[in-house]
Amino acid sequence: MVLENLDIVAASSGAVYAKDGSVLVTACNINSRGELGVRVNQNGYAELDSNTTIDTGGSAGNRAPLSTIRGKISSQADITAGGGESQTVTVAEGASAVLSNCTIDAGNGSRCVRAAQDGSVEIVDASLQNATTGVEGERGSVLNVKSDVTYSGISTQIKRDSSCAIVEGDTDNNLGWNPTTIEDVSGTKNTATWYQNTTGDVMEVNAVVESDGTADAQANALLKMSPDQSDVTVDQDNAQASTSVVVRANVSATVPDGWYYQVYALKGSIGDWVEIKA
């Protein structure tokens, strides 16, 4: 679905909702009225361009203007909150978000961006403004905050739980570090098996789970990561088709040094597996 050149005013349940589907929002002005402005759930995907804005319209509600639970967001939209929200952007329960080239103004609220319950957030070339905390990472979350992010009216720039992984660096690459080795480990890794990053630096894991090519093909993959082998899912993907074809589910994560990781093939089997190391 494409929403273009629209003025959108939220109802009681929110303005834009993507669930198990995708939405492209371009050149829209969204008034969330203190409700959910853009909400993405259950494998949904939303992309917001730089000509889109989300504003609470002066309403100090308690719901995040931009939120995803188990979904994915790519946003360049400027967001202005009313100040009553606990967070302006929420990413939770294995969801992921990339926030770039934008301004996020919490209106003197608690947090600009919150990654909770295994959420993963990358912030690039953004201005975080007017909040107690700029970015907060809770248990099992992953924060990738680039060095070009600026802060204004922020008491604490980054706050994180001890189990939250954080990667900070410049924008020369999407990891904030300088990878030198791309290792194809396909055929040497097994599903539902814990492996440990012992490289002495962060590394990126990219894996593909494939269906067997029979009718009603389905591939379902989870990528889990934690410092202690606890069951924390940081990425998931599902692919399916009604015909006899091979479909592929793709998962990836940035793994801190010393942390454990595994790919779990719920449906299908592991195909390609690549690890990018410093």
CATH of the domain at 213: 2.60.120.40
Predicted pLDDT of residue 162? 65
Longest dimension (CA), the chain: 57
Domain residue limits at 262 = 181-277
Burial class of residue 81 (count of CB atoms within 10 Å of its CB; 0-12, 13-18, 19+): buried
Sequential pLDDT tens for the chain (278 residues): 889 999 998 876 678 888 777 888 999 999 988 778 898 887 788 899 999 999 987 666 667 889 888 888 999 999 998 766 678 899 988 888 899 999 999 988 888 999 987 888 989 999 999 998 899 888 778 888 888 899 999 988 888 776 677 665 433 333 344 455 778 888 899 999 999 999 888 788 888 899 887 777 888 999 998 889 988 888 888 888 877 788 888 888 878 889 999 999 999 999 889 887 76
Predicted pLDDT of residue 6? 92
Domain containing 32 — which CATH number? 2.160.20.10
Residues 206 and 100 in one domain: no
Residues 126 and 195 in one domain: no
Residues 145 and 207 in one domain: no
* Boundary-marking domain end, from 125, 147, 169: 169
Residues 217 and 131 in one domain: no
Predicted pLDDT of residue 153? 93
Residues 115 and 40 in one domain: yes
Residues 160 and 41 in one domain: yes
Predicted pLDDT of residue 50? 92
Residues 19 and 132 in one domain: yes
pTM: 0.62
Predicted pLDDT of residue 59? 66
* Boundary-marking domain end, from 112, 147, 169: 169
Predicted pLDDT of residue 60? 62
Number of folded domains that form the chain: 2
Predicted pLDDT of residue 61? 62
Predicted pLDDT of residue 174? 39
* Boundary-marking domain end, from 148, 169, 190: 169
